[in-house]
Structure 1
């Protein structure tokens, strides 16, 4: 007999800060895009999907059918960095075939999105250090601790306002959303640039504003590089900033960023931990812009996290993909996660779920636009595929709206200071779009009625 749902929070609270949601997930009764709350007995429409990390919803039949394979991978936690198995090789091959763009053939796997991002930074710093030596800026030769400290201290990572890239060592210096996540921790003073995000809906005036904002950002990057030549190893950005407010950028700006990175001698990195694996209607969000970065970080829906890199990372023989232990971890990505990732990718491919995200996502965003037109409190409806959001008049109203959605039977997620973000699984259906829109309509009507009263 189990612990009992009503004792879960108090039991956890004896040892950890158990300040999560009040419900308790029933791992048996949850199914598809609904999870079952053991405490209330309710089925909740899941527009949260474990912080956008649940690609097939709950208890997908393909995963249930593979319980034996998953259990076999879980009995022994193999040190994948140096000990290889058929299960790992099959999973890496599936990832390369189904998920990896041809221009990013070099892979590294690790557990955790922040560590995926951090290792793109380390790879970029390694590349830039070799680049500086090749240009004669830094001397090459036998390693010396003090000399290396001085040489590496010049290296920086450019990034954007309202970015979230994680909470581990290097990533703390480029994350700047919620101060609770970075305050009082030592950080590097790395260049931070204005993010020329789109204000929706887009009209002629907004495009003119964006022209000016984008030009100013690009000029500030050039100015920083001119004042601090050959120090910026890379510029990292999210194709759509998730936690920072679901901030979108014009495709042309992402292409201009490719050009300016080349111009100033920096690698171009996309953090696709949240936007990747089909959420936007393409396998990777940057593919909407027809731009090829030097690296991307991936995680969440991919189960196992890591990075993919292009040919520039191989320009120097002594690179992180050729020299042992330059980037590494004990488990190199959990073997159970590898197996689950392979099963998920095979299902995504077979059921054409990236296309489903595009088609059903278009229905969702069309419905959200109608919803926004009907309610003055709703503004800036935006999204790509099943990666959607809208803005409310204040943080207080947004928080009330979020709570009311859960009470009405749908779990959503906050974004930025005033927005609600929707992150359903790739299996989301037209019927579930309608279910979600009906709940949003009911919640908006209720909040508007209470304001009038």
Structure 2
């Protein structure tokens, strides 16, 4: 039986939550370090439960079966009673820690009960308080330049509805003031032009935008996501493959980004006007390997989209809500003109897209539509998340924690140049990643970390990524760094 005392390094033991710690405020009984109750993870109870679950549910991607009633703050518990520092957080979806008391309070409120048991078909029967719920939360958090929102059911759905808005917007420009023709109406029912658009959404190599049909056609990260599924013949532009460290590769990276911008514009110019309805891009290509590009590159994208009257969709499903040290990661770019749409989900526990041009709302009802069009209960949670983030300055605190973590992480990784490389995410909050020499070494490291009570996720072919909560602090960083140092030695 492994014991916590065997795992605590001097680095861990010297740690304590700082004065003014938001984690301590929320979670006075949060563990000071991992607790391991079994010799391996997953343990026997977790494996048995997962075997049972597998009889009725596809669970082949399971890390371990979790006990969320025993998970607190930055620590996730499994069915065997192991408590792990969670640096993956449900694939970047836990903003304020497990069992957050303010979210529990919102969940137990009369407002929430009403939203849950009387879930409305929002487009037809919106509730009397939905506008206020949005204004106090999701809209209060709107990216600069945006003042409207369409709420959706998931990140994939957010992107799909943004695509629909883009197609209808461009079609309306081409159609002008005339109404739908009889030919358009009839051909649409046959899935043919002119009623069905010949428009395309341009995405980038290594990008990930979801697993529904339209969003999957823009996803370019791994073949396993796309195999056997019919796809739209939409174009793909190259995304820069930067060299690290950035300070030593300035000219090479500038040339690489210009190469990609030239190719991007060439692809757009190969289509008739308004055929490329929109482009979609992530501030960091998370699932594709945490691939970064400079602010100048993204400004270049914006300039080209404006020049060719192509809409720009920024996919902030994984990067949004504070993890980058800005509430929205694209704020790091300081664009001269805001993107046309910004999609969100994950850490907001709700989904949808922001916009500012009223013409992105179709001029007839039932065109952007489904039964629920989002969920007031999720919007209530998003409202609480936003208010707590602002109340405790969690975006700024995350930026500070990232500034504390990054140089120490660099020092740890520098000791193992034969195993790891390409640390990235400096000055980007805790949205940090690095590469391994191969996938086998990465996967072994993730297993070693879990054996030491720290849960870390992978991405791309050979990368590890950090996706902690917004209440991940210096003391938690010390726990992580100690486990990482020991794990790298064990590789």
Residue 129 (structure 1) shift: 1.0
Distance 1:86 1:364, change over 3 A: farther
User: Which of 418, 443, 449 matches 2:487?
Assistant: 443
Structure 1 unmatched ranges of 5 or more: 448-453
1:11 aligns with 2:52: yes
Q: Summarize deviations over 1:183-219 as a string: whole Å, max 9, x none.
A: 1111111110110132221135x22222222222222
- Structure 1 partner of 2:251: 208
Q: Which residues of 2 match residues 62-77 of structure 1 at below 5 A?
A: 62-69=102-109, 70-77=112-119
1:103 aligns with 2:145: yes
Q: Which residues of 2 match residues 271-420 of structure 1 at below 5 A?
A: 271-291=315-335, 292-311=338-357, 314-315=358-359, 319-320=360-361, 322-376=363-417, 377-383=419-425, 384-420=428-464
- Structure 2 partner of 1:131: 173
Report the Cα distance in structure 2 between the residues aligned to 1:364 and 1:150, rounded to whole angstroms. Answer: 54
SS at match of 1:209: helix
Q: Summarize deviations over 1:241-269 as a string: whole Å, max 9, x none.
A: 00000000100011111000111221011
Q: Is the 8 A contact 2:433 2:464 kept in 1?
A: yes
Q: Which residues of 2 match residues 13-32 of structure 1 at below 5 A?
A: 13-32=54-73
Structure 2 unmatched ranges of 5 or more: 1-44
SS at match of 2:343: strand
- Structure 2 partner of 1:145: 185
How many pairs does the alignment contain? 434
Q: Summarize deviations over 1:54-103 as a string: whole Å, max 9, x none.
A: 10010112122334214443233332332223553332112355310241
SS at match of 2:201: strand
Report the Cα distance in structure 2 between the residues aligned to 1:366 and 1:76, rounded to whole angstroms. Answer: 50
SS at match of 1:66: helix
SS at match of 1:159: strand
Distance 1:6 1:257, change over 3 A: closer
Q: Is the 8 A contact 1:98 1:349 kept in 2?
A: no
Distance 1:202 1:81, change over 3 A: same
Report the Cα distance in structure 2 between the residues aligned to 1:286 and 1:355, rounded to whole angstroms. Answer: 16
Report the Cα distance in structure 2 between the residues aligned to 1:5 and 1:88, rounded to whole angstroms. Answer: 40
Residue 22 (structure 1) shift: 4.8
Report the Cα distance in structure 2 between the residues aligned to 1:326 and 1:366, rounded to whole angstroms. Answer: 50
TM-score by length of 1: 0.91
TM-score by length of 2: 0.84
Report the Cα distance in structure 2 between the residues aligned to 1:169 and 1:432, rounded to whole angstroms. Answer: 39
Distance 1:298 1:405, change over 3 A: same
Q: Is the 8 A contact 2:138 2:382 kept in 1?
A: no
Instruction: State the Cα RMSD in Å.
Output: 1.9
Report the Cα distance in structure 1 between the residues aligned to 2:55 and 2:313, rounded to whole angstroms. Answer: 41
Residue 42 (structure 1) shift: 1.4
